[in-house]
């Protein structure tokens, strides 16, 4: 018998998607609006971020970081948490989706008088949440 440990492809994909989501959310705009003369944006360090969508962006980052920890737990040769965390990871990925929707809803409510739209940071959070939820589900189902 071989003592090699097989790499879990679901955990590897979760790790990559979470890192990409964090990078895009941290460096790109979450949402934007047009006031008729200028474009204004919401991001982690932008002036026009509302408290609600800024809080949502921070929580999305925290949830993605925890998903990275959960996936690293499965990828490292010696697990630092012995319990299977796929269900918890699926819940965190679901919360990522929920807070992306809440964040864009709060932004839309605050700047509803202007022409506004979701931007790269929103899409990064929601797509990372959807893909990670699917991967955690498949990981849980195939154990």
pLDDT of 26-60, one tens digit each?
A: 999 999 999 999 999 999 999 999 999 999 999 99
According to the model, what pLDDT value does residue 124 have?
97
User: What are the tokens at 71?
Assistant: 């996936």
For residue 20, being part of any structural domain is answered with: no
Asked if the structure places residue 130 within a domain, the reply is: yes
Q: Is residue 1 a part of any domain in this protein?
A: no
Pairwise CA distance, residues 82 & 55, whole Å? 32
To which residue do tokens 């319990």 refer? Answer: 83
- As to burial, measured by CB atoms within 10 angstroms (0-12 exposed, 13-18 middle, 19+ buried), residue 127 is middle
User: Encoding tokens for residue 21?
Assistant: 């989501």
- Which one-letter DSSP state was computed for residue 38? -
Q: DSSP alpha helices (H): ranges in 2-119?
A: 9-27, 51-75, 86-110
**21 within domain boundaries:** no
Among 49-58, 71-80, 99-108, 123-132, which is the least confidently predicted range?
Answer: 71-80
> Is 81 part of a structural domain of the chain?
yes
pLDDT digits (tens, 9 = 90+) for 81-112: 888 889 999 999 999 999 999 999 999 999 99
For residue 142, what pLDDT is reported? 86
Could you tell me the pLDDT band of residue 70, with boundaries at 50, 70 and 90?
Answer: very high
Which residue segment(s) compose the domain that 34 sits in? Answer: 26-141
Residue 121 domain-assigned? yes
Domain count, the chain: 1
Integer-rounded Cα radius of gyration of the chain: 17
pLDDT(3) > 90? no
**Which tokens is 77 given?**
């040769």
Q: How far apart are CA 22 and CA 73, in angstroms?
A: 19
The mean pLDDT value for 119-139 works out to: 96
Q: What is the pLDDT of residue 77?
A: 83
State the residue for tokens 């609600």.
52
Instruction: Please indicate, yes or no, if residue 17 is contained in any of the structural domains.
Output: no
Helix%, strand%, coil% for the chain, nearest 5: 65, 10, 30
């Amino acid at each position: 018998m071989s003592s090699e440990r097989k790499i879990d492809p679901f955990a590897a994909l979760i790790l990559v998607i979470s890192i990409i989501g964090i990078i895009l959310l941290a460096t790109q705009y979450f949402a934007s609006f047009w006031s008729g003369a200028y474009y204004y944006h919401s991001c982690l360090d932008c002036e026009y971020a509302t408290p609600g969508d800024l809080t949502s962006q921070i929580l999305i980052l925290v949830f993605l970081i925890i998903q990275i920890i959960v996936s690293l737990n499965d990828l490292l040769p010696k697990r630092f948490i012995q319990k299977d965390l796929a269900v918890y990871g699926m819940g965190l990925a679901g919360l990522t989706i929920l807070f992306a929707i809440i964040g864009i809803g709060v932004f839309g409510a605050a700047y509803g008088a202007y022409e506004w739209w979701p931007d790269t940071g929103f899409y990064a959070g929601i797509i990372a949440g959807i893909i990670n939820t699917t991967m955690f589900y498949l990981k849980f189902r195939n154990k």
